[in-house]
A and B are shown apart, each in its own frame.
Chain A
Amino acid sequence: MTESSFPSPGMRGLGPRTWPASSRPVIAGLGMTSLGKVYGQTSARFAADAVRLAVADAGLGLADVDGLLTSSGMAGGISIDLQRDLGLKDLRLLSHLQAYGSTAGAMVQFASMAVMSGTANVVACVFADSPLRPEGSAGAVYGSRRVPAGWWGLLGASGVVGANPMYALAARRHMDRFGTTSEQLGHIAVAQRDWAALNPAAQLRDPITLADHQASRWIVEPFHLLDCCLVSNGGIAVVITTAERAASLAQPPVHVLGWAQSHPGRYLRRSPDFGLVSGAAAAGPAALAMAGRRLTDVDVAELYDCYTFTVLLTLEDYGFCPKGEGGPFVASGVLGPAGKLRLNTGGGQLSGYYMWGMTPLSEAIIQARGGGGARQSAAHDIVLVSGNGGVLDHHSTLVLASEAGAG
């Protein structure tokens, strides 16, 4: 076989559209434990519970699972030993992944490739975390417990501790360059709380106003408390299989049409793009190209929202508005249940629950199935999902579709 006889990889890649319909990847199961201030369970137990729920949701049994991908948050405590916890035998795929907030999207990508190639047929992907303790804040777990030493110790000793300062520095750069304001970021917080009010699984459901956002205490200027995500205990799992297998299962299939990752490699490096452009700018168009869809085809967007600013930057990078115009765009009335943009319809990580990339992914699956209840988007054929990790350093994009949208 000569090189030229291979299909061109290009931007579209060898995506599901180039595969026989029967072997295209589908999300067939979703499992969510109780999320939030749920105490007394280890991360591993949350993970096992989530997989059991997802497999049952799909109408499958644990014996049907032949692939398992695990991931964990800052508290760790999850490994491929989850196979033993779940009593899974003769797996054909097993790995632990870590790409921070882009991991959930990455797991779906790897699982999709696995079922397309026949490497495995039923792949469970799980994230769980338990940073919250009944007494006191999550800071003890999300901060460092180690004796500060070396380069990382120096960064902390210099006052740059954890994600908050780094994202604040990124947001300030966007403000300086484009005139973005804290009030504009507040529109994202208010809109997502309005969505959360419609989501029984959301942790924070009391409506807030722009004034509440502005009055909430500073965490790291320019971020108020209401610019920052929640911290949650719990676990979420999804089950990926082929369209052929999913056809006889319990749930409406959610097709995985396209995907991409982008890892620019700028962390703690000089970068002209810092705070201005993220990996979303590469991954978004690439995922849509693989799916054979345009941005205007997207009915619902579930975007990773560790901070309000992350949403704004991802909207720009995906092309929902021109670069630099994210501030005026989010303040223009497009957001929230009354707006035209169906964005972070479950309240996201700001008001819903913080399960890293599983937060946008789980809400995307719920919406694509049409199971969103009071918050369900009428149009839900194409759902765009983002994952973001590090300090805007790791990005994953998924293009999902309902049965009607996959045609």
Chain B
Amino acid sequence: MTVGPVQRDDATAEFFDATAAGRFLLRRCPAGHIGEPAATQCTACAATDLDWVEAGGGASLVSWAVSWSRPADGDEPRKTLLAIGELDEGPWWWTLLACDLPPDAAELVPGRRLRIAFRRADAEHEAVPVFVLA
């Protein structure tokens, strides 16, 4: 279960600078509302002068799914556990849940505690946030 390669662009440069250092950044408006990293306007008050603020890294499971990919060489399907996590600061985040498969479905209940971690496809590409079981 690995992340794919991703490159930065102008909008994501600061975010990926942070993930490289093991930090997950969110947006914060002057009134203190917290938004998702990609936000360019505060969802609560429409402010556009947003700062970056570091997330604590804790999250709760919202939903999960298991993606099966078929390798072209006919090998066994590769399974990737995906999750939506609600960050403790409020925003949701969509990424893979890095844990040993097969997942114990009984453990994957809404509210299950998760933690943000980081993985790279390779040294050439950016560090990608993933969830791990807390």
Tell me which of B12, B67, B109 contacts A165 (CB under 8 A): B67
Contacting pair A158 B96 (CB below 8 A): yes
**In the complex, residue of chain B having the shortest beta-carbon distance to the beta carbon of A156:** B4
Q: How large is the interface on B (under 10, 10 to 19, 20 to 34, 35 or more residues)?
A: 35 or more
Contacts of A217 in B (CB 8 A): 68, 77
A151-B12, A165-B65 given as contacts; is B130 within 8 A of A158 (CB)?
yes
Q: What is the 8 Å Cβ interface bit string for chain B, positions 91-105, against chain A (1 contact, 0 not)? A: 110111000000000
B49: min CB distance to chain A, Å: 20
B82 at interface, CB cutoff 8 A: yes
**In the complex, residue of chain A having the shortest beta-carbon distance to the beta carbon of B93:** A158
Contacting pair A176 B110 (CB below 8 A): yes
Contacting pair B36 A176 (CB below 8 A): no
Contacts of B95 in A (CB 8 A): 158-160
Task: List CB contacts (< 8 Å) of B61-112 with chain A.
Answer: 62-68, 77, 80, 82-84, 86, 90-92, 94-96, 109-110
A353: min CB distance to chain B, Å: 24
In whole angstroms, how far apart are the Cα atoms of A96 and B16 in the complex?
37
In whole angstroms, how far apart are the Cα atoms of A367 and B7 in the complex?
50
In whole angstroms, how far apart are the Cα atoms of A265 and B91 in the complex?
15
A210 at interface, CB cutoff 8 A: no
A201 at interface, CB cutoff 8 A: no
Q: What is the 8 Å Cβ interface bit string for chain A, positions 204-238, against chain B (1 contact, 0 not)? A: 00000000000001111110000000000000000
In whole angstroms, how far apart are the Cα atoms of A271 and B94 in the complex?
13
Tell me which of A149, A221, A222 contacts B8 (CB under 8 A): A149
A149-B6, A169-B84, A219-B68 given as contacts; is B94 within 8 A of A155 (CB)?
yes
In whole angstroms, how far apart are the Cα atoms of A69 and B30 in the complex?
44
Contacting pair A150 B11 (CB below 8 A): yes
Contacting pair B68 A220 (CB below 8 A): yes
In whole angstroms, how far apart are the Cα atoms of A169 and B65 in the complex?
6
Q: Pick the 10 closest A-B CB pairs, nearest first.
A: A158-B95, A168-B65, A157-B6, A159-B96, A221-B66, A157-B4, A150-B9, A149-B7, A173-B63, A153-B6
B residues whose Cβ falls under 8 Å from a Cβ of A: 1, 3-9, 11-12, 36-38, 43, 62-68, 77, 80, 82-84, 86, 90-92, 94-96, 109-110, 121, 125-126, 128-130
A residues whose Cβ falls under 8 Å from a Cβ of B: 147-151, 153-161, 164-166, 168-170, 172-173, 176-177, 217-222, 268-271, 274-275
